[in-house]
């Protein structure tokens, strides 16, 4: 670490410690829990479980590249005002450890790794060498994992606000039924597709989804190649499109939309959107879309793109 980086790190750490001192009035303020969630799936799960008993805020603004987010001093001030801080895991938000270190004195705020105990997909060997973590962070795209995340969030609400525990647990149970029903629709909807490969002109996000429903997954980017898509991956995408006479390529809004357009033009394939859940557009947030809605849209597009009955 250079001396400049050490200075920035120490400055950030002292800011966290200063702004994360325990509040004078511990516990629930204004009779509502103040919850800060890093990314959209956690934010959406929290607002469903917490209903009218919580105030929930999403830390990362819409249209932000969640994988390259750098924690700002103002974020720390915001986080430290909350009763509960929800993050996914150290793969998705590697900067969460700074908040944990800084909030050690703040016994009021509960820091929750919502992905604790979920099924994890290891990165391949090369990606592991290039990254400082071992697992694919997109855990919520496995709908069983999503249920586990819901449980972890609900438990944290109960811990912090026992008076409303029945309310939180009931909301969580009802929502888990919806996730389970959606999972069944994915299972039946994707069981007999003529095509079994998701060709994705975006970043490495859908490996959990592909694995869960016995599909193959090829993306333009590997898990560790974030700045440029890999030429061999693009070659493989074009080859698959031509060989299997693929009619649709999947794309995402934030990463490489131009690459998707070029591939479509090059091969004559159409484009279908897949939402990864963490790159939300301002428009999506404004429209108030939900995680369930995004996953239903994904299923529709997958069925169309993979030629499923
Ligand atoms: Zn991602």
pLDDT digits 0-9 by tens, 131-152: 777 899 999 999 999 999 999 9
Q: How far does residue 175's CA lie from ligand 1's centre (Å)?
A: 24
Spatial separation of the C-alpha atoms in residues 302 and 120, rounded to whole Å:
23
Q: How far is the CA of 81 from the centre of ligand 1 (A)?
A: 27
Q: What tokens appear for 294 in the block?
A: 């995004």
113 secondary structure, DSSP code = E
Tell me the pLDDT band of 230, cut-offs 50, 70 and 90: confident
Domain residue spans in the chain?
3-184, 190-305
Spacing of C-alpha 216 from chain mean position? 21
Distance 203 CA to ligand 1 centre (A): 7
CA of 108 from ligand 1 middle (Å) equals 31
Residue 156 CA to residue 54 CA, distance in Å, equals 12
pLDDT of residue 209: 98
More confident residue, 114 or 265: 114
Question: What are the residues whose beta carbon lies below 5 Å from ligand 1 (ion)?
Answer: 205
- CA 130 – ligand 1 centroid, Å: 16
How is domain 3-184 classified at the CATH fold level?
Rossmann fold (3.40.50)
Is there a common fold for 3-184 and 190-305?
yes
- Per-residue pLDDT at 225: 65
**Which tokens belong to 103?**
């909030």
Question: pLDDT per residue over 188-226, tens digit each?
Answer: 999 999 999 999 998 899 999 999 999 999 888 877 666
Ligand 1 centroid, distance to 17 Cα (angstroms) = 29
Helix, coil or strand: residue 272 = strand
In the numeric block, which tokens belong to residue 203?
């970043």
- Which CATH superfamily, name and number, covers 190-305? Nitrogenase molybdenum iron protein domain (3.40.50.1980)
Instruction: Compute, in angstroms, the gap from residue 276 CA to the centroid of ligand 1.
Output: 7
Torsion angle defined by CA atoms of residues 224, 89, 293 and 160, in that order, rounded to the nearest 10 degrees:
-170
pLDDT of residue 24: 47
Q: Which is more confident, 263 or 149? A: 149
């Amino acid at each position: 670490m250079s001396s400049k980086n050490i200075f920035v790190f120490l400055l950030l750490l002292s800011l966290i410690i200063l702004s994360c001192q325990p509040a004078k009035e511990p516990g629930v303020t204004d009779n509502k829990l103040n919850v800060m969630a890093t990314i959209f799936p956690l934010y959406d799960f929290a607002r469903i479980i917490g209903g009218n008993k919580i105030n929930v805020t999403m830390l990362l603004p819409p249209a932000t590249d969640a994988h390259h987010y750098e924690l700002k001093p103002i974020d720390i001030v915001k986080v430290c005002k909350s009763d509960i801080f929800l993050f996914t895991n150290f793969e998705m938000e590697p900067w969460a450890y700074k908040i944990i270190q800084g909030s050690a004195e703040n016994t009021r705020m509960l820091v929750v790794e919502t992905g604790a105990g979920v099924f994890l997909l290891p990165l391949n060997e090369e990606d592991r060498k290039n990254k400082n973590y071992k697992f694919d962070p997109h855990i919520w795209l496995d709908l069983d994992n999503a249920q586990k995340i819901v449980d972890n969030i609900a438990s944290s609400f109960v811990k912090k606000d026992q008076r409303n525990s029945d309310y939180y647990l009931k909301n969580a149970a009802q929502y888990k039924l919806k996730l389970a029903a959606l999972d069944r629709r994915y299972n039946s909807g994707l069981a007999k597709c003529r095509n079994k490969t998701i060709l994705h002109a975006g970043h490495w996000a859908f490996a959990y989804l592909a694995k869960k429903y016995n599909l193959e997954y090829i993306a333009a980017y590997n898990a560790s190649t974030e700045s440029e898509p890999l030429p061999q991956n693009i070659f493989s995408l074009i080859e698959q499109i031509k060989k299997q006479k693929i009619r649709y390529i999947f794309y995402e809004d934030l990463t490489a939309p131009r690459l998707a357009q070029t591939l479509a033009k090059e091969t004559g394939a159409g484009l279908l959107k897949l939402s990864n859940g963490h790159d939300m557009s301002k428009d999506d947030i404004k429209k108030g879309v939900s995680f369930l809605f995004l996953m239903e849209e994904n299923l529709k597009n997958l069925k169309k793109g993979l030629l499923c009955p």
